[in-house]
Structure 1
Amino acid sequence: MRIINPRIKLRHLVSFWEVARLRSVVNAADTMNISQPAVSKTIKELEEILGNDLFDRTRRRLTLTPFGEVFFRYTATSLSALRQGIDAAQGGEQRLLLKIGALPTVSALILPDAVRKLTEGGSGLRTRIITGPNDYLLSLLRTGDVDLVIGRMARPDDMLGLSFEHLYFERVVMAVRPGHPLLSVEEFHPGMVEPYQILMPTPDSVIRGLVEQMLLAQGVTELRDEIETVSNAFGRSYIRQTDAVWMISQGVVARDVEEGLIALLPIDMSDTIGPVGFTTRTDQVPEVTTSGFMQAVREVAALQR
């Protein structure tokens, strides 16, 4: 068996992982509660040991080199395996735990029925559901902190070492309160939203680029008092109290629309349609509990097609 270079320490791998995941030395230092120079020094040491640059420092945003992308994949796998080994050595969980990363649209539309299907037999399975931006969930997937992610397919650059299984297509909608002034306009067009507050997805969300492109194509160039949020609770509450327009995935508000609590502006949003499905790691075979959950999700998602 080939011996690992003894100069490579755990701190090297953790520091590299955090910088690569967050694309920022400053943010990585804050996460690890150490100084920025210490992180930079650790990364430089690792690059010297490996004999290759891990990051391309010529660009405005810190990005991985091709060598760094490969090393990033194996670092994620190694850290995940180490964490699982420690858990096993310490006795692990007494009950099975399924960890699911889900974008808000899936949490609202698909997960309730899927989790009910999975747990109604009283198997004793514990289910942990974690929501957040796509980049955050994919980072948890790479480290093994979630077993799979359900949501929109990520950008190609973010799919290294990951695979995607399509379930259904979903579009973005313009959601407003019932009785909103724009609902009574005879010939509505997107430019009419400019005088109103707009709730937009955050820049790191998968749908942000689609929304911006759609608005630009429709001639909407100025947004008044734009609010960026990924909080469904805030968005739902805010538009019901104001005349704001909420750009949001259809699945998040589907039930609210059915119940008459939220209305949709009459506009063709087909340009924002994108695939929703499972994202898993290519180097892992799903366990029995994970496979059972995925099948439950497939059955529920089939009703959305």
Structure 2
Amino acid sequence: MLNARIKLRHLQAFLEVARQRSFARAAERLAITQPGISKTIRELEETLGASLFDRTPKGVALNQAGLTLLRHAGPALRALEEGVQAIGDTDGVRQLRVGALSTVESRLLPDALRGWHAEGTPHADVGVSVVTGPSAFLLSRLRRGELDLVVGRMTEAREIQDLAFEHLYYERLLLVVRAGHPLAGMSPLPPEALSAYPWVLPPPRTTLRQQVDSFCVRHSLALPARRLETLSLPLSRGYTLGSEAIWVAPEEAVVESLAAGELCELALPLEQQGGSVGLCTNATLRPSLALEAFCERLREVASRLGRGAPSP
């Protein structure tokens, strides 16, 4: 049980001093006197029986006890603020911040958003802001609290670490070419034949590129000098349809073009099972009801697409 002597003002003062690393600046931000904020921090330290800050020539710094309190007090106050805001939010103006990797931009996320904003749904008035980019960029923003959720294939990303990941389905990377390409329909396809054509592939230092590099090592291939490195699906598709390029494509991004006969999958698998596509959240932050509902929407769409169960 929380000590009754610890008040909201104690935690607010603590968090502001931790942010500003200065009693004077924190007092200015909270519109109180410096002796007042010093007294508030002293009361908190006496109640806890521990010092929270070390005084340095450049200001103050959190010690180990302070870091421990910060890890818990910050998310708790943010959750409280969200609750108060939700109660007082009479016009329903809220927004989810979602990070999306290229592996879910074509079907999973668009389908989920269409259902989310359908007329009459419980959260139709909740806006969604979508940020795209490589997993390292999106996961770092999630860790800092700048995103509520990241969706995509990211299990190989080192940046997941203490974040919470929930598997939805496995998805393969495919080698695809335009219809009528010299390699289309060739089976068996010798790996060395790929070197004669331009490639479209994910940029270096991305989780998808790791799989391409592994494929090249397995087949003793060197990446061709003629290559386009991008995460843009429209650019990749347009370039591939108008050239003899080989596109390393997420299955979701090309499934409709394959069915329509615009693109052809080469008879040389880049990977067998594929990577795990799922939801990544910041476990230190309490999810809002809207976020929980949006995650459930994503699960429903994944199941409807026939991908709810893991591959054997």
- TM-score, normalisation: structure 2: 0.69
1:136-155 equivalent positions in 2, closer than 5 A: 136-155=137-156
Query: 1:190, 1:215 within 8 Å by CA — same for their partners in 2?
Result: no
Structure 1 vs Structure 2 CA RMSD: 3.5
Query: 1:134, 1:204 within 8 Å by CA — same for their partners in 2?
Result: no
Judging changes above 3 Å, is the alpha-carbon distance between structure 1 residues 285 and 259 closer, same or farther for their aligned structure 2 residues? farther
1:289 match: 290
State how far apart, in whole Å, the 2-side matches of 1:74 and 1:176 are. 50
State how far apart, in whole Å, the 1-side matches of 2:20 and 2:199 are. 45
State how far apart, in whole Å, the 1-side matches of 2:15 and 2:144 are. 22
Q: Which amino acid aligns with 2:171?
A: E
1:74 Cα offset (Å): 4.9
Judging changes above 3 Å, is the alpha-carbon distance between structure 1 residues 272 and 231 closer, same or farther for their aligned structure 2 residues? farther
Segments of structure 1 that go 5 or more residues without pairing to the other structure are 13-44, 53-69
1:33 match: none
2:252 match: 251
Which residue among 114, 117, 129 is the counterpart of 2:115?
Answer: 117
Q: Which amino acid aligns with 2:268?
A: I
Which is higher, the Rg of structure 1 or of structure 2?
2
1:103 Cα offset (Å): 0.8
1:187-226 equivalent positions in 2, closer than 5 A: 187-226=188-227
State how far apart, in whole Å, the 1-side matches of 2:288 and 2:204 are. 34
Segments of structure 2 that go 5 or more residues without pairing to the other structure are 1-5, 23-56, 308-312
- TM-score, normalisation: structure 1: 0.70
Judging changes above 3 Å, is the alpha-carbon distance between structure 1 residues 96 and 194 closer, same or farther for their aligned structure 2 residues? same
Runs of 4+ with >6 A deviation:
none
Query: 1:168, 1:304 within 8 Å by CA — same for their partners in 2?
Result: no
Q: Does 1:100 align with 2:95?
A: no
1:65-76 equivalent positions in 2, closer than 5 A: 74=71
1:256 Cα offset (Å): 2.0
1:304 match: 306
Q: Which amino acid aligns with 1:139?
A: S
Query: 2:258, 2:264 within 8 Å by CA — same for their partners in 1?
Result: yes
Q: Can you list the C-alpha shifts for 1:56-110, whole angstroms capped at 9, x where unaligned? A: xxxxxxxxxxxxxx99x959x67x959x78x96xx98951212211111211120
Count how many residue pairs are aligned between Structure 1 and Structure 2. 251
- Identical residues among aligned pairs (%): 29
1:164-203 equivalent positions in 2, closer than 5 A: 164-203=165-204
Q: Can you list the C-alpha shifts for 1:258-293, whole angstroms capped at 9, x where unaligned? A: 222222112223346111000001112322111111
Q: Which amino acid aligns with 1:151?
A: G
1:239 match: 240
Query: 1:161, 1:283 within 8 Å by CA — same for their partners in 2?
Result: no
State how far apart, in whole Å, the 1-side matches of 2:19 and 2:293 are. 38
Judging changes above 3 Å, is the alpha-carbon distance between structure 1 residues 95 and 50 closer, same or farther for their aligned structure 2 residues? closer
Query: 2:185, 2:267 within 8 Å by CA — same for their partners in 1?
Result: no
